[in-house]
Amino acid sequence: MKNRQVLDIHVIQTVPPSCLNRDDTGSPKTAVYGGVQRARVSSQSWKRAIRLMFKDYLDEREIGTRTKKIVAMVAEKIVQKSNLEADEAMLLSELILNAAGVTTKDQEARALFFMSDKQADNMATLALEAWAQEEKVPDAKNLQKQMKKQLQAALNEGSGIDIALFGRMVADDPSLNTDASAQVAHAISTHRVDIEYDYFTAVDDRAPEDNAGAGMIGTVEFDSATLYRYATVAIHELHEQLACDTDATARAVTEFVRAFITSMPSGKQNTFANRTPADAVLICLRDDQPVNMVGAFEEAIRLRPDGSGYVKPSIQKMSTYISNTLSSFVDDPVCSWAIGTDFQGLVEPANLSTVLASIAESVQSAVGTATGSDSANED
């Protein structure tokens, strides 16, 4: 493997009437691109959907929890490892987290904190060591002075897969930050979109028969769109963040690919039942740089007189963009995979399971080669 190895995921996906991601007024999010309004789904919305899907495919010990209640997380580990009472464990947990540089108030972090099961366990072990030295609640100032670096190292060791992928930002102390090895773009429609309104009424089941009025009246804003979605994973960085564990890296990459392709933000799902599969997927393993192909759609696709829709023109425009534009600026991918279509003969399509298995093999080979090269250089 060269110094870098990245996996780019490109998805064309049609969504029917829906409101996947709302702004502060309840309207579907939009963006102006190429001079026209597009449907938009924020990266944060889709990353949340990805993290929720991780729970179905990854062991809970491999993923993190984002919460303000980290004091309780560490306290639970302390109780499991000792005979301390719950209130003592909470007090000790808060002290140890404060000493590490995490500010709390009323036994909660000031802001959401991303912590893995392993990191909570690390902190509990050190908390009990500090308790054992004094056989009482340690002095907060002495604890910070004597153990801060050790505590921060423990809080940075053993990142969950999702923490390694999406990163962690701690305003209180940047030394606790974790750089994200994955990036997710805001999804936008490949064409112009106008927001529409659904006027609805609801009937009161116990209303008198002579009452023809509605029990409730309202409106819901929605749109429908063919989206271009993009994400990328820096495999070489992910490998380092997962302690150079080749199997964990391959598992993290494949489950990220699966979740990015098949997850769906949950906004207004009960109203619209809009969960659709992707129409076409292109995945590229690159050793030069990440490449977002949204430029293929800077000129919004227009509907053709034959009413053929947006999916086929979107796939065609992306294929043309790859052939005519990307070849002038970036190297060819190391390898590519396609699902659903061959992108005008560029890649032979396969099903998702086959592609995921192939990606896992490629990642294991890539990081294994890199690890071997590094070891040789050290010698």
Whole-number pLDDT of residue 373: 43
**Closest Cα partner for 184 from 340, 338, 9, 55?**
9
Tokens representing residue 149 in the block: 């670096």
Whole-number pLDDT of residue 374: 42
Whole-number pLDDT of residue 242: 93
> Which residues of 117-215 form beta strands (DSSP E)?
182-184, 187-189, 196-202
Collapsed DSSP state (helix, strand, coil) of residue 192:
coil
pLDDT tens digits, 299-321: 999 988 877 899 999 999 999 99
The pLDDT mean for the chain works out to 91
pTM of the model: 0.91
pLDDT tens digits, 74-132: 999 999 999 999 999 999 999 999 999 999 999 999 999 999 999 999 999 999 998 88
pLDDT tens digits, 171-205: 888 999 999 999 999 999 999 999 999 988 888 88
Say if CB 77 and CB 223 are below 8 A apart: no
Continuous segment of H or E residues that includes residue 229: strand 216-234
Whole-angstrom Cα Rg for the chain: 25
Residue 343 sits at the vertex; the CA angle it makes with 338 and 348, to the nearest 5 degrees, is 45
Tokens representing residue 286 in the block: 């690159």
With a CB cutoff of 8 Å and minimum separation 6, the contacts of 92 are 75, 78, 84, 127, 128, 130, 131, 137, 138
Task: Please determine, for residue 376, whether its predicted confidence score (pLDDT) is greater than 60.
Answer: no
Task: Please determine, for residue 1, whether its predicted confidence score (pLDDT) is greater than 90.
Answer: no
Tokens representing residue 283 in the block: 């995945």
**Closest Cα partner for 158 from 209, 119, 214?**
119
Boundaries of every domain in the chain: 6-63+180-196+221-378, 65-159
Whole-number pLDDT of residue 135: 63
Q: Give the torsion through C-alpha atoms of 339, 41, 168, 251, to 10 deg.
A: -10
CA–CA separation, 262 vs 40, rounded Å?
Answer: 18
Beta strand 182-184 with 216-234: parallel, antiparallel or unpaired?
A: antiparallel
Share of the chain above pLDDT 90, in %: 75
Whole-number pLDDT of residue 264: 96
Share of the chain above pLDDT 70, in %: 95
Task: Please determine, for residue 375, whether its predicted confidence score (pLDDT) is greater than 60.
Answer: no
Of the pLDDT bands very low, low, confident and very high (cuts 50, 70, 90), residue 371 is low
pLDDT tens digits, 49-67: 999 999 999 998 899 999 9
Which one-letter amino acid corresponds to residue 291? V
Helix axes 70-81, 86-100, angle to 10 degrees: 120
Say if CB 318 and CB 341 are below 8 A apart: no
Among left, alpha and beta (phi > 0; psi -120 to 50; other), residue 4 is beta
